Amino acid sequence: MIASKHLVTIKGVKDGLIFLLNDECEFSSLLEELNHKLENTHQKFLSGPIIHVHVKLGKRVVDEEQETLIRESIRQRGNLLIQSIESDLPEKERDPSEPSRSLKIMSGMVRSGQSIHYDGNLMYMGDINPGGTITSTGDIYVMGSLRGLAHAGIAGNRRAVIAASYLKPTQLRIAEIISRPPDEWEVSDASMEFAYLNEQKMEIDKIVHLGRIRPDAVEFKGE
Q: Where are the domains of the chain?
A: 8-92, 102-222
Decide yes or no: CATH 2.60.120.20 for domain 102-222.
no
Cite the DSSP H helix spans in the chain.
27-36, 64-75, 210-213
Model confidence pLDDT, tens digit, residues 16-39:
889 999 998 999 999 999 988 888
- Tell me the pLDDT tens digit for each residue of 201-210: 898 888 888 8
pLDDT recorded at residue 62: 81
Q: Who has greater pLDDT, 55 or 99? A: 55
Interatomic CA distance for residues 2 and 128, integer angstroms: 54
Whether residue 91 has pLDDT greater than 90: no
The helix/strand/coil state of 117 is strand
Supply the pLDDT for residue 141. 94
Asked whether the beta carbons of 206 and 193 are under 8 A apart, the reply is yes
Q: Alpha-carbon distance 35 to 119, whole Å?
A: 35
Is the per-residue pLDDT at 220 higher than 60?
no
Interaxial angle between packed helices 64-75 and 27-36, expressed in degrees from 0 to 180 and rounded to the nearest 10: 10
d(CA 140, CA 152): 6
pLDDT band at 146 (very low <50, low <70, confident <90, very high): very high
Please give the model's pTM, rounded to 2 decimal places: 0.55
pLDDT at 133 (0 to 100):
94
